[in-house]
Amino acid sequence: MANSKSTGLSGAIVNQAMLDSFRKLDPRSMVKSPVMFVVEIGCVITLLLSFDPNLFGGHYGVGSGERAFNVVVTVILFITVLFGNFAEAIAEGRGKAQAESLRKSKTDLTANRKLPDGTYENVPATTLRRGDIIRVVAGESIPADGEVIEGLGSVDESAITGESAPVIRGAGGDFSSVTGGTKLLSDELVVRVTADPGESFLDKMIGLVEGASRQKTPNELALSVLLAGLTLIFLIVVDTLDPIARYVGGNIDIATLIALLVCLIPTTIGALLSAIGIAGMDRVIRFNVIAKSGKAVEAAGDVNTLILDKTGTITIGNRLASEFVPVGSHTEKSLIELAVLSSLFDETPEGRSVVELGKEKGVAYIREEFIEAKNVEFSADTRMSGLDMADGTVVRKGAVDAIRQFVQQNGGIVPDDLEEKTNRIAGEGGTPLAVVKGNDVYGLIYLKDIVKPGMRERFEELRKMGIKTVMCTGDNPLTAATIAKEAGVDDFIAEAKPEDKMRLIKEEQAQGKLVAMSGDGTNDAPALAQADVGLAMNTGTPAAKEAGNMVDLDSDPTKLIEVVSIGKQLLITRGAITTFSIANDVAKYFAIVPAMFLLYVPQLQALNVMHLTSSRSAILSALIFNAIIIPLLIPLAMKGVRYRPMSATSMLIRNILIYGVGGVIAPFVGIKAIDLVITALGLAHI
């Protein structure tokens, strides 16, 4: 998205986030993060104690210092809550700014809607309903999401994708879908509207980037419950400190107990949890992928199996005819003529390239002369295309096994040299297409397809992450094996029909694995819906876009690999900050509890490794450290932990070392430093 790329963290976003931090103090919003809600309650209690230190019973000796201490604790707690709110607000900020610019591309559109009598009326775009037929001419904005049913034109989708190069949209095939808010640059399109008002792609996108429809993901929920549990445990721990203190002859005031509690509960991760999730979705959006839910992004991080198409994903995709190979007694010339004829109305890249190569070799037909013939479009199910001639002759080209079956069904026999020549092409990684007239096979078209550069390395990375890659192709087993080997995928299935993909997904899921795939055609839709991560291409059919839980605006199927990396990074970041947060809390316990009891139990001096000035300054230093660690970690929460491909186990060990050990050490250093400052300022005995 052009607009998002330029929307960094501008001053406006920061100002807005500061305002929002106060707005989020509303308990109804705070309660969504139980840990931070406890801090807010603590803050209210110490605030009350600032007015009346004896509010909850007067057995604690009250001096003027008592009140001042309560005030200071209240202020620090208040700032802690604000920091947490700010983290969430700043993470939401970028999305809000982006939503604003998206909204601009939807205002005041009008549409030409078809009336039952076939004429058109001009209506506001907001009145369009699913199923309406509209006409758009060059220069106009497309007023609604839809499927082109007539015409072909170039469309500027930059409002949505940020990509300035126009794209072709036309009736039929997998490039038929148009998005409301984009602009038709040439020609004229008749479009069937596919979304009711408020449910358009743009509306959904605005909702998503704004976080309006953001719900806690299952993982996030589980972590929240864990954090709430920890909070409860510490509540009990802190509660028992008072009787212990009294037993050893001292007493601890309520503000100190609250301060201690806040230091011990996992406030760091509690404050940053939702920011981490929002930032993850945001990162996906900046890759021009729209995730329909945070759950989808998270699932991407847990994916075990990646199903990839061969053509266009692993290979460059415009398979081009490079050679004609006659079989049996047929001449090259007669094969070329038949091949070109079979491709005359075939608009696929494969079909076009056959016509091109034929022309180079001196064979060209004029479409108008065959207007009587019936065009048989290519389909992934039949894996053939061709013409039914006016005189009843049937001309087909297609996958060799499909043609072989076709011939046998028609009572013919395939020439002996077909297999050997097929194997030669397939063995080189090419796609052989057999050409047949009636039941007579004339020969083969050699379609060349090249593995995209860098694929091997990417699959190597995925393997290191423990992800299995499976290539799925309609091509023959030999071609598939050659390309699979060259690209370095773990497994492949060949001669696959769309329903085979579905079966593969179900098989993997039955073993408890999470599966990701990408697709664009209507026949991909069921599999896209079944997969845990279904990345639909923006150029794809509305059915595919509806079925997937992500849409790639650039329509690049290899993005699936990036999406998986972003999902992994999200999970790892969350894990790392949780580890850090809990390690921190444990360290704080050992840093401050000895200092607190020192007055009553001098023997604790042995444990008082930090030599903090006083128990008051120990508490305040820990509390201040606890607060400032939140904004210090916001950049990490937003950017994500740097991430290298490796197995989940090595990642875990690495993170425990860095964030666990780091989390234990950091408070000792930080608290000591703050204690020195407090002492220097003469506040240690407040």
Per the annotation, binding residues are 346, 350, 378-385, 397, 520, 524
Shortest distance, CB of residue 263 to K ion, whole angstroms?
5
- Which amino acid is present at 86? F
Should residue 530 be labelled a site residue for Mg ion when binding is judged by CB under 5 A? Answer: no
Catalytic position from the list 20, 132, 282, 309: 309
Question: With respect to ligand ATP, which residue has the nearer C-beta, 210 or 309?
Answer: 309
Element spanning 356, H or E: helix 349-360
Binding segment for K ion (CB under 5 A), chosen from 157-165, 494-502, 509-517, 584-592, is 584-592
Residue placing its CB nearer to K ion in the complex, 324 or 580: 580
Q: Which member of 70, 288, 311, 615 binds Mg ion (CB under 5 A)?
A: 311
Q: Find the part of the chain contacting K ion (CB under 5 A) among 199-207, 282-290, 363-371, 577-585.
A: 577-585
Region near Mg ion per CB under 5 A, out of 267-275, 304-312, 517-525, 577-585: 304-312
- C-alpha span between 491 and 470 (Å, rounded): 5
Nearer to K ion, 35 or 483 (CB): 35
∠ Cα 63 68 74 (to 5°): 130
- Measured at the CA of 73, the angle between CA 70 and CA 77, to 5 degrees, comes to 135
Least spacing, CB of residue 323 vs ligand ATP, in Å? 15
Closer to Mg ion by Cβ: residue 181 or 519:
519
Residue 360 dihedral angles phi and psi, to the nearest 5°? -55, -35
Whole-number Cα distances in Å, 355 to 385, 424, 468, 555, 642: 14, 23, 39, 26, 50
> Cα(326)–Cα(339) distance, rounded to whole angstroms?
11
* Residue that the structure tokens 């005819």 belong to: 321
Is the CB of 194 or the CB of 267 nearer to K ion?
A: 267
Backbone φ and ψ of 425, nearest 5°: -65, -45
User: Which C-beta is closer to ligand ATP: that of 132 or that of 475?
Assistant: 475
- Dihedral Cα 7, 10, 16, 22, nearest 10 deg: 120
Two tokens, residue 254: 């309520």
Determine which helix (DSSP H) or strand (DSSP E) holds 465, and give its type and residue range: none
Using Cβ positions, the residue closest to Mg ion within the complex turns out to be 311
Smallest gap from residue 301 Cβ to ligand ATP (A) = 25
Closer of 402 and 553 to ligand ATP (Cβ):
402
Binding site for ligand ATP (CB under 6 A): 309-312, 346, 348, 350-351, 378, 380, 383-385, 397-399, 431, 433, 472-475
Torsion of CA 86, 87, 89, 94, to 10 degrees: 130
On whether the CB atoms of residues 122 and 108 are closer than 8 A, the answer is no
Quick one: 225 exposed, middle or buried, by C-beta within 10 A (0-12, 13-18, 19+)? exposed
Do β-strands 468-472 and 491-493 pair in parallel, antiparallel, or remain unpaired? parallel
* Closest distance to ligand ATP from the beta carbon of 362 (Å): 22
**Of ligand ATP, K ion, Mg ion, none, which one does residue 384 interact with (CB within 5 to 8 Å by kind)?**
ligand ATP
Minimum CB distance to ligand ATP, residue 210 (Å)? 36
Annotated binding site for Mg(2+): 520, 524
The DSSP output letter for 602 is G
Token pair recorded at residue 356: 């091109």
User: Which residue stretch of 79-87, 569-577, 582-590, 611-619 sits at the interface with K ion (rule: CB under 5 A)?
Assistant: 582-590
CB of 317 to Mg ion, least distance (A): 8
Residue list, annotated binding site for ATP:
346, 350, 378-385, 397
Please, which residue, 262 or 426, has the CB nearer to K ion? Answer: 262
Which phi and psi angles does 519 have, rounded to 5°? Answer: -170, 165
If binding is defined by CB under 5 A, does position 476 make contact with Mg ion? no
The first and second tokens of residue 427, run together, are 């063995």
| Residue that has been written with the tokens 């063995």 in this structure | 427
Q: Which stretch binds Mg ion (CB under 5 A): 232-240, 308-316, 360-368, 402-410?
A: 308-316
Residue among 140 and 554 whose Cβ is closer to ligand ATP: 554
Residue spans of alpha helices (H) in 389-454: 400-409, 417-427
Measured torsion, CA atoms of residues 351, 352, 355, 360, in degrees rounded to the nearest 10? -130
Give the integer Cα–Cα distance in Å for 261 and 317. 60
Rounded CA-CA distance 635/356 in Å is 54
> Please, which residues have CB within 8 angstroms of residue 446's CB and are 6 or more apart in sequence?
321, 322, 323, 324, 325, 425, 430, 431, 432
For residue 619, which of 178, 70, 122, 59 has the smallest C-alpha distance? 70
Q: How far apart are CA 684 and CA 686, in angstroms?
A: 6
Name which of K ion, Mg ion, ligand ATP, none residue 348 binds, using a CB cut-off of 5 to 8 Å depending on partner kind: ligand ATP
Binding letters toward K ion, positions 609-628, x by CB under 5 A? -----------------x--
SS3 content of the chain, % helix, strand, coil (to 5): 55, 15, 30
- Using the 8-state DSSP alphabet, how is residue 149 labeled? E
Residue type present at position 394: V
Task: Please choose which of Mg ion, K ion, ligand ATP, none residue 475 contacts, taking the beta carbon within 5 to 8 angstroms, the exact cut-off set by kind.
Answer: ligand ATP
Q: Does 523 bind Mg ion (CB under 5 A)?
A: no
Q: What track of x and - describes contact with K ion for positions 230 through 269 (by CB under 5 A)?
A: -------------------------------------x--
To K ion, the closest distance from the beta carbon of 82 in angstroms equals 15
* 385, interface contact from Mg ion, ligand ATP, K ion, none, CB < 5-8 Å by kind: ligand ATP
Output the smallest distance, CB 311 to ligand ATP, in A: 3
Residue 378 binds what, of ligand ATP, Mg ion, K ion, none (CB under 5 to 8 Å, by partner type)? Answer: ligand ATP
Shortest CA distance to 82 belongs to which of 147, 17, 34? 17
Q: Which of residues 264-293 bind K ion (CB under 5 A)?
A: 267
Catalytic residue at 309? yes
Work out what residue 267 binds among ligand ATP, Mg ion, K ion, none; the CB cut-off runs from 5 to 8 Å by kind: K ion
Considering the complex, what minimum distance in angstroms separates the CB of residue 245 from K ion? 21
Phi/psi at 166 (nearest 5 deg)? -65, 155
Q: Dihedral of the CA atoms 251, 253, 256, 262 (nearest 10)?
A: 110
Binding to Mg ion (CB under 5 A): which residues in 376-435?
Answer: none
Q: Which residue is nearest to ligand ATP (CB)?
A: 474
| # residues contacting Mg ion (CB under 5 A) | 1
CB of 398 to ligand ATP, least distance (A): 4
Q: Which residue, 521 or 575, is less far from Mg ion as judged by CB? A: 521
Q: Which residues bind K ion (CB under 5 A)?
A: 267, 585, 626
Q: Which residues bind Mg ion (CB under 5 A)?
A: 311
Known catalytic residues?
A: 309
